Amino acid sequence: MQPSHVDARCKALFLTPESPASPGGGGLRSASLLTYLRAKYDVDTVGVNLPSHSGTVTARVSRNVVRLVRGRPPLFDRYSGHQLVCDGRAYQPRGYYRVAVVEHFWCASYVDILRPHAERLVLDLHNVESALARSCARGVAKHAFLRFARAYQLLEHEYLPRFDLVLVASEEDRARVEILIDGRRQAGRPPLVVYPNALCPAATVCGNRESSEQHAIVFSGNLAYHPNVEAVRWFHRYVWPRLRKEDPLLEWRLVGVNPSTIQSIVEGDSRVRVVGPVENALEQLVATKVAIVPLLSGSGTRFKILEAWAARRAVVSTTRGAEGLAAKSGEHLLIADGAEAFANAILTALTSPELRRQLGENGHNLCQSRYTWHNAWQALEEAGL
């Protein structure tokens, strides 16, 4: 379906902390929503004028220690309280907007600035930040993540009811948000709509899949994102040694932006190839046999699985990694938890070309039927956007 067209004079505002063209899942989700809005409205795309700061490890640690003491989650603190910008200039509202969409909970604090200028305020939650932080609470950083999770929960209690509509990526995230605002079932409780992560129609791979396969497994994504770093570290420590021993020719590839973040984890292993950022992730995926998603934490749904399906590649994922997608283990992908089960699932897929073919085709069909922009846009149409 295409979004229905209305009077082009109707205006919308799109406030985003990151470029919709940026690599990674957040940019893909934002691009989908912005494309939909532009088909129906005259859209002002607004960003946040962030002050420059040092990116050294010492500076980051220092900032986060202060935030920990203050109980201010890093991204919410980073993106709050700054001047809004549009086309490189200080933003001034252009009259009244039919709808104003705020991307990410990090920018929810701008609700008071936008409220006088918009008929309808929409918050798009890429993740439920309190749940995301809580899922990361393990190891030496456990107590810090728990403190930030509690801080996010208080902020979510404060800000979510102040929007007219909240978009979430999955039914699981909708249930989490319902619990967060369960005590506000009066008029101030906003409707919750599942707007699934999805790929643009052009994101598909054709041709002879078997001839392009190389004997490799692949992990893709923003390699600086904490759940991805954690996944690489866990897989490298607990799963990869067994695969390396049992399959001496197997290569593990890491594809995505910010490769320096995980370089120290895998360096020194000639059979691990850090590909880094690429223009087309699907071309990298189709050149492998299995896409791995060894996530232990996270919220929302994983674009890395949708992209693997678009490339007709078999996926092996943890339960957490596959959360929120309408997929069945053994039909659309293989789900395995724990190092031994995860390694076994990968070896099973690697040694069974027919299983890989079936998983890849079934995943591709599911992606085409449920997780393209046109399918996802139906939820926005039904919500009256």
49-65 per-position pLDDT tens digit: 888 876 677 877 788 88
Residue ranges and CATH numbers for the domains of the chain are 11-195 (3.40.50), 209-370 (3.40.50.2000)
Q: Is the pLDDT of residue 291 over 70?
A: yes
Nearest residue to 68 (alpha-carbon basis) of 153, 160, 141? 141
Q: What is the pLDDT, as a whole number, of residue 22?
A: 61
Q: What is the pLDDT, as a whole number, of residue 46?
A: 93
pLDDT tens-digit profile of 105-116?
A: 999 999 999 999
Nearest residue to 374 (alpha-carbon basis) of 41, 39, 44? 39
Distance set, CA 7 to CA 41, 95, 321, 374 (Å): 8, 16, 41, 21
Angle at 197 between CA 303 and CA 294, to 5 degrees: 30
- Quickly tell me which residue has 């918050």 as its tokens: 123
Six-digit token string for 278: 């690429």
Phi, psi for residue 300 in degrees, rounded to 5: 70, -150
Q: Is the pLDDT of residue 6 over 50?
A: no
Mean pLDDT value of segment 227-251: 97
Q: What is the pLDDT, as a whole number, of residue 50?
A: 85
Q: How far apart are CA 69 and CA 72, in angstroms?
A: 8
Mean pLDDT value of segment 18-33: 78
The pLDDT mean for the chain works out to: 90
Q: Which amino acid is at 380?
A: L
The pLDDT > 70 percentage for the chain reads 92
Q: Is the pLDDT of residue 19 over 80?
A: no
Six-digit token string for 207: 């041709």
Q: Is the pLDDT of residue 211 over 60?
A: no
Mean pLDDT value of segment 329-347: 98
Q: What is the pLDDT, as a whole number, of residue 344?
A: 98
- In the DSSP assignment, the letter for residue 297 is S
Q: Is the pLDDT of residue 165 over 90?
A: yes
Mean pLDDT value of segment 95-110: 94
- DSSP assignment of 193-240: EE----B-TT----S-HHHH--SEEEEES-TTSHHHHHHHHHIIIIIH
Q: Which amino acid is at 118?
A: A
Q: What is the pLDDT, as a whole number, of residue 57?
A: 74
Mean pLDDT value of segment 343-350: 98
Q: What is the pLDDT, as a whole number, of residue 58?
A: 81
**188 — pLDDT class (breaks 50, 70, 90):** low
Q: Which of 127-136, 194-203, 342-351 has the lowest mean pLDDT?
A: 194-203
Terminal C-alpha separation, the chain: 15
Mean pLDDT value of segment 176-186: 73
Q: Does the reported pTM lie above 0.85?
A: yes
